[in-house]
Structure 1
Amino acid sequence: MSELSIRCALPDDDEELARLDRATWSPLHAVAPRPQPPYRPFFDERHVPGDCLVAEADRRILGYVLLGFPTPLEANAHVRQIQGFVVAEEARGRGVGRALIRAITEEARRRGARRLTLRVLGHNTPARRLYESEGFVVEGVLPEEFLLAGEYVDDVLMGRRL
């Protein structure tokens, strides 16, 4: 892998990001059913290119992270939430995910956030370890919140101060 760069997504990245999303779908991290044709665009009214950072090497997107607001309420406008995070299978274990988490943490800080939160499935040990190593702590657990592939799975709420 050549040098990794992190950049803001562009509208033209939509198709490549949608393909990456479909290729990495797994009950380890997805609560929605496996995407089926006709496929939806990656970007929508809730998630625009300016809210997405991509990791790129050799002119190929290897991962992304989406930043959003947990609610539309002014009372918690100081909080940002990671609302999507994917690393291509072949790029895992090479620091791509860590680079994205660090970049989105800085971006949230730059946008004036005081806290950064996320939700992760209880059985997603690799993601939980990464988040913990980057300063996120478990702030709550919704036991057996999802039924995925015949198994009940906890929804783990994590966060950190910025």
Structure 2
Amino acid sequence: MSEPSAPPQPSALPGPFIRRAVLDDEQALVSLERRTWSTLHSVQPAPEPPYDAFFTHRNRPVHVMVAELDGRTVGFLRLVPPTQLACNAHVRQIQGLAVDPVGRGRGVARALLSAAYEDALRQGAGRITLRVLGHNLPARRLYESEGFVVEGVLPGEFLLDGVYVDDVLMGRPLTG
């Protein structure tokens, strides 16, 4: 007689689905921005009514990747050319990454970053950069674990909640 087999283990929670944003995502992204806003990661004033604009002439759906879990928008990443100059067309810059608290710990930020690397490579970029507030240690740890290194610091660049906060410039190559 054979030994009874171990009970099946529950499968891991499904990872996020990442896709390009569309105009119809605007209200979900506005809502996500409101839920995640904090001086830990934003130098912009807190969102105030009316809460109806996410996309602008400079922030278009083509620049935004959306993360979904169980059909719900739980994250976004904005990836743009840092300037309009041809001499740095090989660089893409992350200008916003947010994950809803309900999606944290489920690989959403890493999945968005991975999608950003792939998208930047498709666009011909060989380098990716970002700016992160010095006191945002969780984000800095994430970026460092993804291969980003500190390339510069602007000490006391922002006054947030009565405290001067550094602006940390980070970057990484996209190719070996």
Instruction: Tell me whether the two structures share a fold, i.e. TM-score over 0.5.
Output: yes
1:151 is matched with which residue?
163
Match of 1:131 in 2: 143
Q: Which stretch shows the higher mean deviation, 100-109 or 140-149?
A: 100-109
Q: 1:92 maps to which residue?
A: 104
**Whole-angstrom CA distance in 2 between matches of 1:107 and 1:4:** 17
Are 1:102 and 1:134, in contact at CA under 8 Å, matched by a contact in 2?
A: no
**Gapped regions of structure 2 (runs ≥ 5):** 1-12
Counterpart Cα distance in 2 of 1:60 and 1:2:
13
* 1:120 positional shift: 0.2
TM-score after normalising by structure 1: 0.96
Q: Residue 118 of structure 1 corresponds to which residue in structure 2?
A: 130
1:1-162 maps to which residues of 2 (within 5 A)? 2-162=14-174
Unmatched 5+ stretches in structure 1:
none
SS in 1 for 2:76: strand
Larger radius of gyration: 2
- Count of residues paired in the alignment: 162
Residue 155 of structure 1 deviates from its aligned partner by 0.2
> Following superposition, which runs of at least 4 residues in structure 1 exceed 3 angstroms of deviation?
none
Quick check: 151-160 or 52-61, which moved more? 52-61
Q: Which amino acid aligns with 2:66?
A: V
Q: Which moved more, 1:43-52 or 1:151-160?
A: 43-52
Following TM superposition, by how much is the alpha carbon of 1:111 offset from its aligned partner in structure 2, in angstroms?
0.8
Q: Residue 151 and residue 94 in structure 1: after superposition, are their counterparts in 2 closer, same or farther (change >3 A)?
A: same
Percent identical among aligned pairs is 61
Amino acid at match of 1:116: I
State how far apart, in whole Å, the 2-side matches of 1:60 and 1:81 are. Answer: 26
SS of the residue 2:120 aligns to: helix
Q: After TM superposition, give the deviation of residue 57 of structure 1 in Å.
A: 1.5
Kindly indicate whether the alpha-carbon contact (under 8 Å) linking 2:75 and 2:100 is maintained by their aligned counterparts in 1: yes
Tell me the TM-score normalized by structure 2.
0.89
Displacement of 1:91: 1.2
Asked whether the equivalents of residues 54 and 64 of structure 1 are also in contact (C-alpha less than 8 Å), the reply is: yes
Equivalent residue letter for 2:142: L
